Structure formats: C-alpha cells, structure tokens
Structure 1
C-alpha cells in the first residue's frame, strides 16, 4: 500500500506552494496601505476637518450678525403702515402746494410793486 503522507505532499509540491505564497504576499502587500501612508492620510483628513470647522464657525458668526440686524428691521405690516403714512404726507404736500401758489403770486406782485415804487422814488 502506497501511503500518501503530508511529508510526501510537501516534498512534491513544496516549491510550487512557496511560489504561490510569495505571489500572494506580493499581491496583498500592494492592496493594503502602509502605516506611514495611513498616518499621512489621517493628518490630511484632520487638516481638512479643522478648515471646515473654521469655515462653519465663521458662517455661524455671520448668520448670528445677520439675524441680530434683521430683528431691528420693520416687518411687513410696519412697512405697509409706513407706506400709507408717506402716501398721506404726499397728498398733504400736494394740497399745500396748491394753497401756496396764490401766496407766491401775491409775493411776486408785491415785490414788483415795491420795485416800481423804488424806481419812481429814485
């Protein structure tokens, strides 16, 4: 009886197994990241996170300032009341303009009369 033992198997196929193992090791070594490359990638990530955090803080500050400025602005109802008040004032000014036209013409006639009186006295 011819026994096939582990020792015979290793003796027969040991060289091929060693070659396959070496090729597998080389292949796997290119698929995994090195410790230095991993540390470098973590450092870059931390730098990007810090930059993004600073940008977010700056945006939060800007939003806070804008919100505090908007609180002081009138709302739409107040703006509408202001528009209506301005319209009433414009109407009153037009009325005053019409009422002052006769006074202006009287002042012009009075000035002309006084000029004529001054020219005759001279």
Structure 2
C-alpha cells in the first residue's frame, strides 16, 4: 500500500500544481478546523483517492477508472471549506492519518461499508 500512498500523493501534487500559485507551494499544516459534514467529505474523498491509487497499482482498475475516481474525490473535496491550498493540505494530513491508523484491509472494508453513503451525500 505504500506505493499507492506515493501514487496518491503524486496525483494530489499534480492536481495541486494546477490550482496553487508558485508562492503557495511551501509545505505547512492546514490552518483550519474541519468538522461535521466537511470532515466526512474530507474522509470520503481521501479514502476514494487512496483506494483508487491502490486498485490501479495492483492492476484491478484502469488508469481511466483511477482518474475518474480521483476526479470524484476532488468533487467531494469541494465540500471542505477553505482555500484550495488549505483543502489540499488537509487531504495530505488525512492521507497520513488514514495510513497510520488502518491496515489496507481495514481501509478497503471501511470504504466498502461507506462508499454508497459517500456517493449519495457528496456526489449529487
């Protein structure tokens, strides 16, 4: 799963390069508190982003499917308040929290249990 995390971070960096100004590329903590539905959106987004990278890395889905899933994850991320920079930093922090608290099997199970709700709630 470490390769998938690396893939997800690289994809997120590529996306951030499209939205960040050259001066905003300095790494730092997200400086906002995310709670409630926004926190749920962030978590759904991060899980989908990570899992799509993992499934692609393992050969289970195509690049196009991974890219479509990651675009959907970014739509979910729109529910998170703040600037693009703050949302991307929050996503990076959520990646780390997920990876430090779950095994790949636990993450797959969690997403399997919540994917329908995530889609219904954040991909209207």
TM-score norm. by structure 2 comes to 0.21
Computing the radius of gyration over CA atoms, which structure comes out larger, 1 or 2?
1
Q: Greater RCO between the two (CA within 8 Å, min separation 6)? A: 2
TM-score norm. by structure 1 comes to 0.21
Q: Which has the higher helix share?
A: 1
